[in-house]
Amino acid sequence: MNRKEFIKSSTMAAFAITTMGYVVKRNAQSEELPESTHTGDCATTNDILGPFYRPDAPDQSDMTFTGLNGSKVSIKGVVYKDDCTTPLKDVKVEIWHCDTNGDYDNDSEDFRHRAQQTSDSNGAYQFKTILPGKYLNGKLYRPAHIHFRVTHDDHQELISQIYFSGDPHIEEDPWASQEKAKARILPIILEDTKGNLTVEFNIYLNKSA
């Protein structure tokens, strides 16, 4: 890595730390890493859909584009069956979020910051996007978050959101501050000296009734 690339990657990582409040290194001691998945009765808890869901988002893993502002991050994980241990393939995972200014793309043909994909034979999914910003909801800011809609023929639909450790607006948010949201407040992991960031979110579905 040359000096210019190092400065750029360091700047983006610093931006993420400033914006999101909490970034941990991949090689940090395990006790420094908050839990990234729900491990109680295992089913991932739900959250509100919100008013900005759009169906028919493009089937893609890379949501970045030329000229995009913000810190790039990989959102990845594994979808599991209701037994909490068996990976589940062919699950439709949709995500959407606002940009760094807190704005959603609600009507353009580009479907910016919106995508869907199907979990692979190992239950894995992965999206490349940017860390979203905050926005006002009435008099209070909603903490940065990413929406999920997860569907599979043999399991219950899951509508949920993930939040990020250290975000100062979590405590005042009526949804992120709920007890059931704690397991969905996730660390942003700094993978390497290039400034690559990752958020890991494993998803546990409930069996259809």
| Residue 56, φ and ψ in degrees, nearest 5 | 65, 35
**pLDDT, position 21:** 52
- Token couple for 6: 């190092």
**pLDDT, position 14:** 42
Residue 128: closest CA among 60, 194, 176:
60
Residue 170 CB-density burial (10 A; 0-12 exposed, 13-18 middle, 19+ buried): buried
- Ranges of the chain whose pLDDT falls below 50: 1-19, 28-40
Partner residues linked to 118 by β-bridges: 92
The CA distance from 125 to 120, in Å, is: 7
The CA distance from 132 to 70, in Å, is: 8
- Cβ of 114: how many Cβ atoms within 10 Å? 25
pTM of the complete model beyond 0.95: no
**pLDDT, position 15:** 43
Give how far the C-alpha of residue 115 lies from the chain's centroid of Cα atoms, to the nearest Å.
12
- The answer to whether the beta carbons of residues 87 and 79 sit under 8 Å apart is yes
Tens of pLDDT, residue by residue over 95-125, are 999 999 999 999 999 999 999 999 999 999 9
The CA distance from 27 to 33, in Å, is: 10
Domains and CATH numbers, the chain: 3-204 (2.60.130.10)
**pLDDT, position 195:** 79
Give how far the C-alpha of residue 78 lies from the chain's centroid of Cα atoms, to the nearest Å.
13
**pLDDT, position 165:** 96
**pLDDT, position 69:** 86
Residue 95: closest CA among 139, 134, 50:
50
